[in-house]
Amino acid sequence: MKQLKGKVALITGGASGIGRATALLFAQEAAAVAVVDLEEAGARAVAQEIVDGGGRAIAIRCDVSCQDDCRRAVQQTLATFGSLDILFNNAGIIRRASLLDTTEEEWDRVMAVNVKSVFLMSKYAIPVMAGRAGGVIINTASGWGLVGGRSAVSYCASKAAVVNMTRAMALDHGRQNIRVNCICPGDTDTGMLRDEARQLGAPEEEFLTEAADRPLGRIGAPEEIAQAVLYLASDASSFVTGTALVVDGGGLAG
| Number of residues assigned to the chain | 254
Within 8 A by CB and 6+ apart from 131, the residues are none
Q: Look at residue 173 in the predicted model and tell me its pLDDT.
A: 98
pLDDT bin (cut points 50, 70, 90) of residue 212 is very high
**Shared domain check, 206 and 80:** no
Say if 253 falls within a structural domain.
no
214 with 147, same domain? no
Q: Are residue 203 and residue 131 in the same domain, yes or no?
A: no
Is there a single domain that holds both residue 76 and residue 197? no
Instruction: List, for residues 22-39, the tens digit of each pLDDT value.
Output: 999 999 999 999 999 999
Q: How confident is the model at residue 222 (pLDDT cuts 50, 70, 90)?
A: very high
The answer to whether residue 251 sits within a structural domain is no
Average pLDDT score over the chain: 98
Kindly state whether residue 176 falls inside one of the protein's structural domains.
yes
Q: What per-residue confidence (pLDDT) applies to 194?
A: 95
Same domain flag for 170 and 215: no
Specify which residues 247 forms β-bridges with. Answer: 185
Whether 252 maps to a domain, the answer reads no
Q: What is the CATH number of the domain that holds 74?
A: 3.40.50.720
pLDDT at 1 over 90: no
Could you tell me the strand order of the sheet in which 178-185 lies? 57-61, 32-37, 8-12, 86-89, 135-140, 178-185, 244-247
Q: How far apart, in whole angstroms, are the C-alpha atoms of residue 112 and residue 118?
A: 9
Say if 2 falls within a structural domain.
no
Q: Which of 142, 155, 166, 230 is catalytic?
A: 155
- Please tell me whether residues 196 and 102 are part of one structural domain: no
Active site residue 155: yes
Model pLDDT for residues 24-77, shown as the tens digit of each residue: 999 999 999 999 999 999 999 999 999 999 999 999 999 999 999 999 999 999
On whether both 124 and 209 belong to a single domain, the answer is: no
Is residue 254 a part of any domain in this protein?
no
- Which residues constitute the domain of residue 207? 189-219
pLDDT over threshold 90, residue 254: no
Per-residue pLDDT of 96-131, as tens digits, reads: 999 999 999 999 999 999 999 999 999 999 999 999
The whole-number average pLDDT for the span 197-225 is: 97
The reply to whether 161 and 67 lie within a common domain is yes
pTM above threshold 0.95: yes
Burial of 186 (0-12, 13-18, 19+ CB in 10 A): buried
Q: What is the DSSP secondary structure assignment for residue 219, as one 8-state letter?
A: P
Same domain for 215 and 112? Answer: no
Q: What is the rounded average pLDDT of the residues 133-140?
A: 98
**Contacts with 176 (C-beta within 8 Å, 6 or more apart), sequence order:** 126, 129, 130, 134
C-beta separation of 221 from 189 below 8 A: yes
Whether the CA torsion 67, 79, 225, 253 is positive or negative: it is positive
Specify whether 237 is located in the same domain as 121.
Answer: yes
Is the same domain home to 56 and 181?
Answer: yes
Domains held by the chain: number? 2
Residue 78 belongs to a domain:
yes
Task: Check residue 182 and give its pLDDT.
Answer: 99
- Residues 188, 92: Cα–Cα separation, whole Å: 13
As to burial, measured by CB atoms within 10 angstroms (0-12 exposed, 13-18 middle, 19+ buried), residue 28 is: middle
What is the C-alpha separation between 46 and 226, in angstroms, rounded? 15
Same domain, 62 and 131: yes
CB 70 within 8 A of CB 124: yes
Examine residue 141 and state whether it is found in any structural domain, yes or no.
yes
Yes or no: say if 128 and 74 are a contact pair by the CB < 8 Å rule: yes
